[in-house]
Amino acid sequence: MVSAEKNIQVVCFGEVLWDVLPTGKQPGGAPMNVAYHLNRLGISSAVISKVGSDADGRELLDMLRDIGVSPAFIQTDDRHATSRVVATIGGDNEVTYDIIAPVAWDFLVDEPRCSALVREAAVLVYGSLAARNRVSRDTLVQLLDHAAYRMFDVNLRAPHYTRETVDLLMRYADAVKLNGQELAVVSAWFGNTSGDENTAVGVLQDRYGLPEIIVTKGAAGASYYCSDARYDCPAIPVDVADTVGSGDAFLAGFLAQKLRGETGDRMLEFATMLGAYVTTQSGACPPYAQADLDRFAWAKYLERKPLK
């Protein structure tokens, strides 16, 4: 049994790494980013990952502690290096990544404490990138069998995915988050070339029986499809510092509201607001408090009362 971590509500499985940006290196990786923002929002979260037994790994663990992400479930690898990803920010503020392989998080193993953690949590968040290697993929599948609610954060980074792996991970999901381009790619595997979002979502719902699908669309906003409704939220115009980690912040905002029992439109609105806020800051995990989000939301006229 897990003792000190019994209050963990969300477990994020996958990569932790150094994002090497033009301005320097910062801790990153979608699972770590999601956990960071959830913790900022008052939702206790943990990361299952792996670093190398090298200087980069030790520094990364120290940095995670500094930003409030517990390293308690991050394994250490004596054979493989800590992950580094070189991020390049283009003129349109879009980010491209050079993801090196193999690295420590490609070799995650199931441990009794990790299985116990997942069993006790409300949500397991996982992505396709961490499943690029068979070792971590097999470990993830074992943990998925223990999870109460499975959120699949699709992250198609060529050449680090296959149709077969994405198909496998879809079959476990209770909910899926993907962007418009990823929706088009995945639905096209099953014959959809319509270019219509509703049709593409229907293809995935029919094939996988998915009760929840979230589609992020950049400047076109986001949509949330559930079994009996569709919710839409427009994008929030902002002065962009960079877009690193904004999708991870969006997902954290959505899950935080879901765990608090909010309505579909409220979940989507808050997620959109948090994702937009993070794009106005530098890096994926900027420091902020609830008061900062309230001021931002008021300034953008999203609501006339503080967001919770």
Cα-Cα-Cα-Cα dihedral of 160, 163, 169, 172, to 10°? 180
CA dist 107 and 241 (Å) reads 34
* Residue 54 is assigned to a structural domain of this protein: yes
| Parent domain of 245 | 10-288
* Residue 266 is assigned to a structural domain of this protein: yes
pLDDT at 26: 86
CA dist 263 and 253 (Å) reads 13
Q: Which two tokens stand for residue 170?
A: 């879809």
CA dist 120 and 7 (Å) reads 8
Q: Give the bridge partners for 175, in sequence order.
A: 151, 212
Domain CATH code at residue 205: 3.40.1190.20
Strand order in the sheet with 74-77: 74-77, 45-52, 10-13, 123-127, 150-153, 175-179, 212-216, 222-226, 229-233
* Residue 300 is assigned to a structural domain of this protein: no
* Residue 298 is assigned to a structural domain of this protein: no
Cα-Cα-Cα-Cα dihedral of 253, 143, 105, 28, to 10°? 10
In the chain, how many domains are there?
A: 1
Q: What number is the average pLDDT over the span 63-88?
A: 93
CA dist 183 and 200 (Å) reads 7
* Residues in CB range of 304: below 8 A, 6 or more apart: 298
Instruction: Give 218-240 pLDDT, tens digit per residue.
Output: 989 999 999 889 999 999 999 99
* Residue 293 is assigned to a structural domain of this protein: no
Tell how many helices (H) and how many strands (E) occur in the chain.
10, 13
CA dist 186 and 148 (Å) reads 25
* Residue 301 is assigned to a structural domain of this protein: no
Q: What number is the average pLDDT over the span 274-286?
A: 93
* Residue 297 is assigned to a structural domain of this protein: no
* Residue 294 is assigned to a structural domain of this protein: no
Confidence grade of residue 93 (pLDDT, cut at 50, 70, 90): low
Is the pLDDT confidence value at 40 over 70? yes
Q: Give the bridge partners for 50, in sequence order.
A: 75
Q: What number is the average pLDDT over the span 284-294?
A: 94
CA proximity to 154, closest of 59, 58, 248? 248
Instruction: Give 139-197 pLDDT, tens digit per residue.
Output: 999 999 999 999 999 999 999 999 999 999 999 999 999 999 999 999 999 999 999 99
CB 271 within 8 A of CB 246: no
Amino acid 63 reads M
CB 239 within 8 A of CB 280: yes
* Residues in CB range of 222: below 8 A, 6 or more apart: 214, 215, 216, 232, 233, 235, 250, 268, 271, 272
Is the pLDDT confidence value at 2 over 50? no
Q: Name the 3-class secondary structure at 305.
A: coil
Cα-Cα-Cα-Cα dihedral of 166, 16, 254, 116, to 10°? 80
Mean pLDDT of the chain: 92
